[in-house]
Structure 1
Amino acid sequence: MSDATIGFIGLGNMGGRMARCLVDAGTPVLGFDPNVEAVRAAGAGVAPSIAEVTQRCDIVLMSLPDSNVVEKVVEGDDGVLAYAWDGQIVVDLSTASVSSTRRLAMRMAEKGTDYVDAGISGGAAAAEKGALTLMVGGDKTALKRLEPVFAPIASKVVLMGGSGAGHTTKLLNNFLNAVSLAATAEVMVAGKKADLDLHQLLDVLNASSGVNFATLNRFPKIVDGDYLEGGLTSQLMTKDVVLYADLLHELGVTSLNTAGPMASFGLASALGYGEMISNRVVDAIGDVSGGVRLHQS
Structure 2
Amino acid sequence: MTGRRVGFIGLGNMGGRIVRRIVDGGQAVLGFDLDASRAAAVGATAAATVTEVVRGSDVILMSLPDSKAVEAVVRGDEGILAASRAGQIVVDLSTAAPGSTVRLHAAFAERDVEYLDAGVSGGAAAAEKGTLTIMAGGSAAALEELGGLFELFTSKVFPMGESGAGHTAKLLNNFLNAVSLAATAEVMVAGRKAGLDLRTLLDVLNASSGVNFATLNRFPRIIEGDYLEGGLTGALMMKDVVLYVDHLHELGVPSLNASGPMASFGLANSTGYAHLISNRVVDAIGDISGGVRLHDEPGADDGSGKATP
Q: Does residue 231 of the first structure (1) align with residue 231 of the second (2)?
A: yes
Tell me by how many angstroms 1:5 deviates: 2.3
One-letter identity of the residue aligned with 1:264: S
Work out the CA distance in 2 between the residues paired with 1:182 and 1:82.
Answer: 41
So what's the TM-score if we normalise by structure 1?
0.98
- Name the structure 2 match of 1:26: 26
The answer as to whether partners of 1:59 and 1:90 remain within 8 angstroms in 2 is yes
Q: Which residue of 2 aligns with 1:272?
A: 272
d(CA) in 1 for partners of 2:219, 2:22: 31
1:195 aligned to 2:198?
no
1:48-68, CA deviations, whole angstroms, 9 ceiling, x for partnerless residues? 110011111110000000000
Map residues 1-297 of structure 1 onto 2, 5 A cutoff.
4-297=4-297
Q: Distance in 1 between matches of 2:23 and 2:245?
A: 37
TM-aligned CA deviation for residue 37 of structure 1: 1.3
Q: Would you say the 8 A contact 1:4–1:28 is kept in 2?
A: no
Distance 1:4 1:44 in 2: 15
TM-score, normalised relative to structure 2? 0.95
Give me the CA root mean square deviation: 0.7
Question: How many aligned residue pairs are there?
Answer: 295
Amino acid in the other structure paired with 1:17: R
Distance (whole Å) between structure 1 residues aligned to residue 4 and residue 41 of structure 2:
21
Inter-partner Cα distance in structure 1 for 2:292 and 2:17: 34
Distance 2:140 2:189 in 1: 46
Give ranges in structure 1 of 5+ residues lacking alignment.
none
Query: Within 2, Cα distance between the matches of 1:124 and 1:269?
Result: 20
TM-superposition CA deviations, 1:89-136 (whole Å, max 9, x none): 000000000000000000000000001000000000000011100000
Query: 1:148 & 1:128 partners in 2: Cα distance?
Result: 18
1:111 corresponds to which letter in structure 2? R
Q: Displacement of 1:85 after TM fit?
A: 1.1
- In the TM superposition, residue 165 of structure 1 has moved relative to its aligned partner by 0.5
1:267-294: per-residue Cα shift (whole Å, max 9, x none)?
Answer: 1010100000000000000001111111
Whole-Å Cα distance in 1 between the matches of residues 199 and 151 of structure 2? Answer: 37
- The answer on whether the counterparts of 1:51 and 1:80 sit within 8 Å (CA) in structure 2 is yes
Q: Is the 8 A contact 1:119 1:135 kept in 2?
A: yes
Regions of 4+ moved over 3 Å: none
Contact 1:61 1:90 in 2 (8 A): yes
Supply the distance in 1 between the matched residues of 2:13 and 2:77 (Cα, whole angstroms): 25
C-alpha displacement at 1:238, in angstroms? 0.1
Q: Which runs of 5+ in 2 are unaligned?
A: 298-309
Q: Matches of 1:49 and 1:104 in 2, distance apart?
A: 20
Q: Residue by residue, what CA displacement relative to the aligned partner does 1:238-281 show, whole Å, maximum 9, x if unpaired?
A: 00000000110000001100010011011101010000000000
SS in 2 for 1:273: coil
Partner of 2:307: none
Provide the C-alpha distance between the structure 1 equivalents of 2:189 and 2:22, rounded to a whole number of angstroms.
40
Equivalent residues of 1:11, 1:19 under 8 A apart: yes
Instruction: Tell me if structure 2 keeps the 8 A contact 1:50–1:73.
Output: yes
* Amino acid in structure 1 at the alignment position of 2:167: H
